[in-house]
Amino acid sequence: LAELMASVQDMNTSKETIGAVVDYAEFMLKRDVFDNEAIGSHGADMLLKSKETIRLMTICNTGSLATAGYGTALGVARALHSRGKLESITALETRPYNQGSRLTAFEIVEEGMPGTKQLICDGAAAAMMKINGIDACVVGADRVCANGDTANKIGTYNLSLIAAAHKVPFYVASPFTTLDVNLPTGDSIPIEERPAAEMIGSGSAPENIKVWNPAFDVTPNKYINGIITEKGVICDRTSDGSLDIVSFVKNHSTAQ
């Protein structure tokens, strides 16, 4: 936004200003797709270091419907699929707003991604890992703290615990811009609470039930194997075991 404001402050006509805004929007579109494709490539490379093909699990929507046209966590799935290395993908429905079943499932079908159990309810993740097997979980993030704690759609923390119990690698795919070194830990992240009606309506619950409906949760860094960005994958840890986000940001902030 600062770049855009600087570019239009000396313009004399509304036509010039509108043109500059449109040009910058088109630049942001191209950059976002480019960055997402890089995230997908880095993520696919990382996962394929230990497996020939990947059975992937994800939550919420992180695809072209959530970005400018490619995706972050779902971009990793796209990259694997384009290489013929995606054995299967499973999306959690992501209650109560069902971004997984409404959006991710749509993208999986439209992309022709493989799998026989492509959509499951949130509570089936553990059974899926135990009975059918999953090679990796890749999820998105709205913010990544200095120690690697990440905020994402509610249910992500649950999924990380399930993955840890089944020894399934758990990765976060997120743009470099989500790395916030000014927030020391996930305890600093404010969590939005959604209206009760959203949960009551989607679950056919009685209208007078008392509801707690947080939109996000925070996954502690100890349950995360790495953070996949367009500039590379963060796996290095500090002496206290935290993901070394600060060093990565310092080393890549001026890199183009």
Give the model confidence (pLDDT) of 154-213 as tens digits: 999 999 999 999 999 999 999 999 999 999 999 999 999 999 999 999 889 999 999 999
Beta strands per DSSP E along 94-159:
119-120, 136-139, 143-145, 150-153
Give me 214's structure tokens. 């947080």
Q: What is the pTM assigned to this prediction?
A: 0.92
Vertex 10: Cα angle to 9 and 16 (nearest 5): 90
pLDDT by residue (tens digit) across 90-131? Answer: 999 999 999 999 999 999 999 999 999 999 999 999 999 999
Residue 145 CA to residue 128 CA, distance in Å, equals: 30
End-to-end Cα distance, the chain: 18
Catalytically active residues are 142
Q: What is the pLDDT of residue 20?
A: 79
Taking a C-beta distance cutoff of 8 angstroms, is the pair 138, 77 a contact?
yes
